[in-house]
Structure 1
Amino acid sequence: MNDSDISGGRERVLTVGVVVARTGRLTSLGDPLDAVMTLLEPELAAAGPRGFRIRLVGRDSRSSADGARQAVKELVQDENAAIIVTLAGTQVLPAVADTCEIIGVPCLSSTFPWQVYYYGRGADPARPFDWTYHFCWGLDDIAETFADLWAQAGGAGRQTVGCLWNDGPQGAWSRHPQHGFAPAARARGHRLVEPGPYEEPAVDLDRHITAFRDAGATLVTSAATGQDLALFRAQAAESGWQPRLITCSRWLAYPPSPAVSGRQSAQADVATLVYWTPAHPYRSSLDGTTAAQLAETYEQTTGRQWSQPLGLAHALFEVAAHALTTADDPTDRRSVAAALSRSRLDTIAGPLDWTSGPVPNVATVSLAGGQWQPGTRHDYELVVVTPGRTEGVRVNGDLRTA
């Protein structure tokens, strides 16, 4: 049972455990989740099923897989969490989900391509997970979005695209012959130039630059960190070669980091995926807050530029509250997991539906295409340049190419 003795009196409480990076290299990625947790805690207290109060308890993942596993264990053993939520981190997110699957506690996560989450953790449609659920876009969705951007940059028809992929999970799954980015991009008729993976963090990318130039590539795609992409752009410029456009996912979906040693920010004029902005026409299922209002509140309370994970962080708590209130027995973890599996909900991150695939345990998020361009309120702002498959999102700028 998830009853707790609070303030000396018996009160029925349901705990949502939050694994969030507050120290280590992923701290900035944990900021939106931490901020939304603080924002929603008073509201969620009254959003539970009749006779219950929802409370939020966070634990620091320490930006590591070991820290994430320890955080889950503490939330379950010490705080009696009814459900765990988390987002972000190539090693951290799978560690959270795997630990929840082993312990037997419902888990909801986001901001991680669903094929990597699902197949990368050993599931398949015939053998889905029992406890862990996820919502995100797919690697194929990124490929489709980037192909739309390539068409704008290079014209319709076959494009030659250089692939700057690392030797980690991002690069491996980008190349995956069945579930990766590459087969979806090739299905659109494009030629991909793959010199082989580089070791992250990169120290020299001249081999890739030479391969792209020799192959006649005018476009480059990647899932690099900002640091590695900055190195690539600097070395390309030194060699006298420059692609017309770079498309990059992963860290490049976040606001630009400051320029280093006089160089422009790695994100400047880089095109990327767009999964949430203040202009998205979505509202919170909890209180009707709009995407624009959430972004404004975040900037006013934190002094930081809004970032795309903000909307998905908010949706995590919306879905968690929905599962707890629709579960046949919110004090039974298996009942809560079953509620997640049948959830269909319009959230501030858009409509989420776990009943319609693409595989069990997963709901999808649609993508548009955007580009980091010089802004008015911030040094760089994310401009939507192609609507992709996101209904109601309007283009608000033109694609800039070299």
Structure 2
Amino acid sequence: MNSGAGQAPAVGVVVARTGRLARLGDPLAYAMELLAPKLRGRLRLVGRDSRSSAEGARRAVRELVEVERARIVVTLAGTEVLPAVADACEEAGVPCLSTTFPWQVYYHGGRRRRWTYHFCWGLDDIAETFADLWEAVGGTERTVGCLWNDGPQGTWSRHREHGFLPAARARGHRLVDPAGYREPAAALDEHVAAFREAGVDVVTSAATGADLGLFRREAARQGLRPRLITCSRWLAYPPAATAPAEQAPQADVGTLVYWTPAHPYRSSLDGMTAAELAEGYERSTGDQWLQPLGLAYALFEVAAHALATAGDPTAPKSVAAALGATRLQTVAGPLDWTSGPVPHIATVRLAGGQWQRGRRHPYELVVTDNRGVDGLPVGGELVPPGADQ
């Protein structure tokens, strides 16, 4: 067993390298590879594959804590994996830092948080951002159809106290929410019919790309032509390239913008700008930058800051206290755990945008509403669904 004696403090990284979340793990793996030599001597970055499953995530935490003697564990993961990492760290009594998961689901949906810290936007922030987009297509009171599943995504979106629903209604919008559907959806014709009957002119969703595509085909068949579709779930990924005659399901869909190369932020570790980080990622991987990249880099910024400012970086209580006291300017923006909406939470600022046909890439994320992020330029206007781009 590796005792870690005489070595720099270890930051454990739970990252999806295999399974369905492997693409989501790419930005975290890249940030880890890029920063490891820069932090050598100060920190050791050691990773384990979550295998895109809750059990794999728990196993990864055990190995990082017991074998690598990780002083803090960081992760960027999905609906089942991220809570599993946080819960395993709670059980082990090791500080954990995570992101890319609406904070209400993280905070209210799990066990008591003593060792685990998180930064992200909230479901209310999603509703406010989407309401800005809805209102941009005309009028302050829309009839909005909710394409929500019967799983965690839909359950928390419709939560009457902590969810998307109360924030959207507070803006004056009427939400039409048929029964949640089981993923993957076999048919969504009843949702389309309910939206038509209610006079829906805007649709909001947290659907997968496949289910969103199914909905759009059925809506076209029944003659439902919403003025705008917003979707929060697949916001990180560019629409898949399809045949020229077929439009990708995410194309022209309004979504959240939490990080782009145009964001006016720099890393606290090395001064790298958002633009430089995205450019390096594309040059190194050959792939288009992804929104989680900025937050992945910020995970290491905050972890390094906490270990550097902790009174005793070998004591879990000291590292946890340092996380809770962190106020830091990062490449993902300003993060502040001292004034979060609830303990152990820092929030990420959101803008509104849309996937549109691009010049450098088949589809590019265009900022259409920047009111939530100071200094972020607007890149274009909303394109109506189905419009020729």
Range class of TM-score, shorter chain = over 0.9
**What is the CA-CA distance between 1:260 and the residue it aligns to?**
7.1
Q: 1:44 aligns to what?
A: 39
1:30 to 22, 25, 41: 25
SS of residue paired to 2:215: helix
SS of residue paired to 1:217: coil
Q: 2:88 aligns to what?
A: 99
Runs of 4+ in 1 over 6 A off after TM superposition: none
- Please give the alpha-carbon distance, in whole angstroms, between the structure 1 residues aligned to 2:214 and 2:244: 12
**What is the CA-CA distance between 1:396 and the residue it aligns to?**
1.2
Contact 2:4 2:68 in 1 (8 A): no
Pair 1:71-2:60 in alignment: yes
- Please give the alpha-carbon distance, in whole angstroms, between the structure 1 residues aligned to 2:374 and 2:49: 36
Contact 1:283 1:290 in 2 (8 A): yes
Contact 2:13 2:74 in 1 (8 A): yes
Which residue identity lines up with residue 388 of structure 1 in the other structure?
R
- Please give the alpha-carbon distance, in whole angstroms, between the structure 1 residues aligned to 2:381 and 2:140: 20
Contact 1:148 1:388 in 2 (8 A): no
Q: 2:103 aligns to what?
A: 114
CA deviation vs aligned residue, 1:10-33 (integer Å, no higher than 9, x gap): x33210000001111111110100
**What is the CA-CA distance between 1:258 and the residue it aligns to?**
2.9
SS of residue paired to 1:250: coil
Q: Which residues of structure 2 form unaligned runs of 5+?
A: none
**What is the CA-CA distance between 1:102 and the residue it aligns to?**
1.1
2:251 to 246, 265, 268: 268
SS of residue paired to 1:247: strand
CA deviation vs aligned residue, 1:336-364 (integer Å, no higher than 9, x gap): 11100100100000000000020000000
Contact 2:241 2:362 in 1 (8 A): no
Which residue identity lines up with residue 382 of structure 1 in the other structure?
L
- Please give the alpha-carbon distance, in whole angstroms, between the structure 2 residues aligned to 1:85 and 1:335: 17
Contact 1:22 1:61 in 2 (8 A): yes
SS of residue paired to 2:70: coil
2:312 to 311, 314, 329: 329
2:143 to 160, 167, 190: 160
**What is the CA-CA distance between 1:329 and the residue it aligns to?**
0.5
SS of residue paired to 1:394: coil
Pair 1:400-2:383 in alignment: yes
1:56 to 42, 45, 53: 45
Contact 1:3 1:13 in 2 (8 A): no
Q: 1:49 aligns to what?
A: none
SS of residue paired to 1:72: helix
SS of residue paired to 2:255: strand
Q: 2:131 aligns to what?
A: 147
- Please give the alpha-carbon distance, in whole angstroms, between the structure 2 residues aligned to 1:214 and 1:345: 49
Contact 2:159 2:165 in 1 (8 A): yes
2:213 to 213, 223, 230: 230
Pair 1:364-2:364 in alignment: no
Which residue identity lines up with residue 204 of structure 1 in the other structure?
A
**What is the CA-CA distance between 1:313 and the residue it aligns to?**
0.1
Which residue identity lines up with residue 398 of structure 1 in the other structure?
E
Contact 2:93 2:115 in 1 (8 A): yes
1:295-310 mapped onto 2 (5 Å cutoff): 295-310=278-293
Q: CA RMSD in A?
A: 1.3
1:81 to 64, 70, 74: 70
Task: Return the TM-score normalized by structure 2.
Answer: 0.96
% identical equivalent positions: 69
Which residue identity lines up with residue 314 of structure 1 in the other structure?
Y
Number of aligned pairs?
384
Contact 1:41 1:55 in 2 (8 A): yes
SS of residue paired to 1:115: helix
Contact 2:235 2:257 in 1 (8 A): no
Which residue identity lines up with residue 92 of structure 2 in the other structure?
I
Q: 2:115 aligns to what?
A: 131
Contact 2:329 2:335 in 1 (8 A): yes
- Please give the alpha-carbon distance, in whole angstroms, between the structure 2 residues aligned to 1:322 and 1:3: 23
Task: Return the TM-score normalized by structure 1.
Answer: 0.93
SS of residue paired to 1:134: strand
